[in-house]
Amino acid sequence: TYFAYVRAFLSFCVRDQQLDTNPAATEDAEEFLPEDKPVRETQFWEPEQRKRLIAYANERVQMARDEVIDVPLERAYRDRTIVILLAELGLRGAECFRDSNDDERPGLRWGDVDLERGRLVVFGKSREREPVGLTEAAHDALSRLERVQKPPTDEWPLFPTGYTASWYQAVEDATGERPPRGSDIESICREKEIAPPAITKEAGRQILKQLTNEAGIELEGEATYLQPHGARRALGAELYEKGHSELAQKALRHNSIETTHEAYSDIQAEDVAKSIDEIRE
């Protein structure tokens, strides 16, 4: 994209010491990019890719803690939690992130999370509220994020936007007054219990693009990063290949087992071919 060319040129300027920082390499700069339509056909996170992405997200938290990188610690935990929820639970991007065109999809809120019962509730593809059980890794990630984030209200998003102007707008919408420029806007939101917007679906994709690139993960085909839907497909494929088709159906919240069989018909075809070979031996 043109934006990618601009960002690459500015990165060169930073390396050449013509600029101190790259203004295009921020969430603020990416917030209002046109929605990226990902290549979704059959991409799924390979086991080694998934392990590497999670490992890097963990490393990044530690680097942020040690101030080795210029990333706020809370943001590093936020991004780590995104990766783990996608990888562990197979959530759809629209179930995690805010959809600017759908008021019923504001992104996951802390009120959607029940750590005591080990579950969260998402607004599913069916446009109904659907419970999702938390794996041990997902529960741990959310617990750690909650301790770092300290959400002041259940309406606080799990994944708040990094776009400062949106925080100012949230305060203005709630109070009728816009805080002066330069205010500690996060403190104002916390004190008044005004929840900022969650990151958008596109911002979520941009985060995954950044992490995929920084982790040095190699990809095949047209995809340039590990997409949210690829994590969902990988979870289903792993369960399906091991003979747990009904568990795959439940994990992915398909309405029927036929939907699951159709989604993984390629695996079925491979199993049939292997069975034929075994019989003929």
Q: From its phi and psi, is residue 257 left (phi > 0), alpha (psi between -120 and 50) or beta?
A: alpha
Could you tell me if 238 and 111 lie in one domain?
yes
CATH number of the domain encompassing residue 268: 1.10.443.10
Cα–Cα distance list, 188 to 28, 176, 192, 223 (Å): 20, 14, 6, 40
Q: Which residues pair with 114 in a beta bridge?
A: 119
Report d(CA 193, CA 207) in Å as an integer.
Answer: 26
Answer for the pair 95, 107: CB distance below 8 angstroms, yes or no. Answer: no
Could you tell me if 157 and 174 lie in one domain?
no
Tell me, what's the pLDDT at 234?
A: 84
Could you tell me if 152 and 235 lie in one domain?
yes
Q: Which residues pair with 160 in a beta bridge?
A: 198
Could you tell me if 184 and 57 lie in one domain?
no
Name which of 247, 218, 251 is nearest 124 in CA terms: 251
Among 88-92, 120-124, 268-272, name the one with the lowest average pLDDT. Answer: 268-272
Q: Helix (H, G, I), strand (E, B), or coil: what is residue 174?
A: helix
Tell me, what's the pLDDT at 176?
A: 97
Could you tell me if 111 and 182 lie in one domain?
no
Question: Is pLDDT larger for residue 39 or for residue 3?
Answer: 3
Could you tell me if 124 and 94 lie in one domain?
yes
Could you tell me if 185 and 228 lie in one domain?
no
Average of per-residue pLDDT across 67-85: 96
User: Is residue 122 within a helix (H) or strand (E), and if so which, with residue range?
Assistant: strand 119-123
Average of per-residue pLDDT across 219-223: 83
Q: Looking at the predicted structure, is the pLDDT value of residue 2 above 70? A: no
Range of the domain at 209: 31-161+197-280
Q: Which residues pair with 119 in a beta bridge?
A: 114, 133
Residue 117, burial from CB neighbour count under 10 angstroms (0-12, 13-18, 19+): exposed
Could you tell me if 3 and 39 lie in one domain?
no
Confidence of residue 152 (pLDDT cuts 50, 70, 90): very high
Tell me, what's the pLDDT at 273?
A: 47
Count of structural domains within the chain: 3
Could you tell me if 143 and 226 lie in one domain?
yes
The DSSP symbol for 111 reads G
Q: Looking at the predicted structure, is the pLDDT value of residue 268 above 60? A: no
Could you tell me if 239 and 106 lie in one domain?
yes
Among 7-16, 74-83, 113-122, 166-175, name the one with the lowest average pLDDT. Answer: 7-16
Could you tell me if 82 and 102 lie in one domain?
yes
Ordered strands of the 129-133 beta sheet: 113-114, 119-123, 129-133
The DSSP symbol for 57 reads H
Sequence-ordered alpha helix ranges (H) in 66-120: 73-89, 93-96
Tell me, what's the pLDDT at 65?
A: 96
Average of per-residue pLDDT across 115-138: 93
Report d(CA 71, CA 218) in Å as an integer.
Answer: 24
Tell me, what's the pLDDT at 23?
A: 75
Average of per-residue pLDDT across 23-43: 59
Q: Looking at the predicted structure, is the pLDDT value of residue 275 above 80? A: no
Could you tell me if 35 and 90 lie in one domain?
yes
Name which of 49, 31, 27, 34 is nearest 2 in CA terms: 34
Tell me, what's the pLDDT at 26?
A: 65
Type of residue found at 85: L
User: Is residue 132 within a helix (H) or strand (E), and if so which, with residue range?
Assistant: strand 129-133
